[in-house]
Amino acid sequence: MDAAGAAGWAGSVAFVVSLPAMHMLAASGSNAFAINGFAGMPGVEQLSFWLTFILFNMYVGLEVVCLAAFYFASRPRSGLPNPAAIWYFIAALWVVMAFITTVWAAPAERSFLDDSGSFLAVGTRTVKVFIGLAFAAVAVACLLLGAVETARRKRAAEQTVVI
């Protein structure tokens, strides 16, 4: 579009704001485009946010472990499925429940605060986080049961080969 076309469309001055320019505007900090997610938050709310962030990412890692274990255990070996795969699947479901408890305890910046929201303490939301940790512990127990079942199955297969 030339200047004459732009003048008829947007007045007498035409300008284009590029993506790098928007990033520079946001980084300058003294305008309406500046974004700081922690602006106005006290330190305890920031700490609560980071604790929830770390917990959520631990749940992500645990879910990856559960699904990877299920994937490798569910592939048939020697024509027989591994019955331990069901334990890995059950563990993955428990981790999903642990994810859901992070929503119960939302918002993240208040998950570890007391009910008044001013101190790090055990409040109503924190109890929900602990319920999620209990769900994650059940998931770890299911993973361990699956691992024990897989080891038992491997031992039985090795003894069959030896005999």
For the stretch 20-60, pLDDT in tens is 554 555 555 565 655 667 777 788 888 888 899 999 999 99
Please tell me which residue, 89 or 7, carries the higher pLDDT value. 89
CA distance 162 to 152: 15
Q: What is the pLDDT of residues 118-133, one digit of tens each?
A: 888 888 888 999 999 9
Amino acid at residue number 132 = G
CB count, 10 Å around CB of 81? 12
Q: Ranked by mean pLDDT, which of 68-77, 95-104, 106-115 comes out on top?
A: 95-104
Q: What is the pLDDT of residues 137-157, one digit of tens each?
A: 999 999 999 999 988 988 887
Residue 14 pLDDT: 47
Q: How far is CA 152 from the centre of its chain?
A: 33
Contact at 8 Å (CB) between 69 and 145? Answer: no
Residue 13 pLDDT: 47
**C-alpha torsion 129→134→136→141, nearest 10:** 170
Looking at the predicted structure, is the pLDDT value of residue 11 above 60? no
Q: What is the pLDDT of residues 107-121, one digit of tens each?
A: 888 888 888 878 888
> Residue ranges of the domains in the chain?
1-35, 41-162
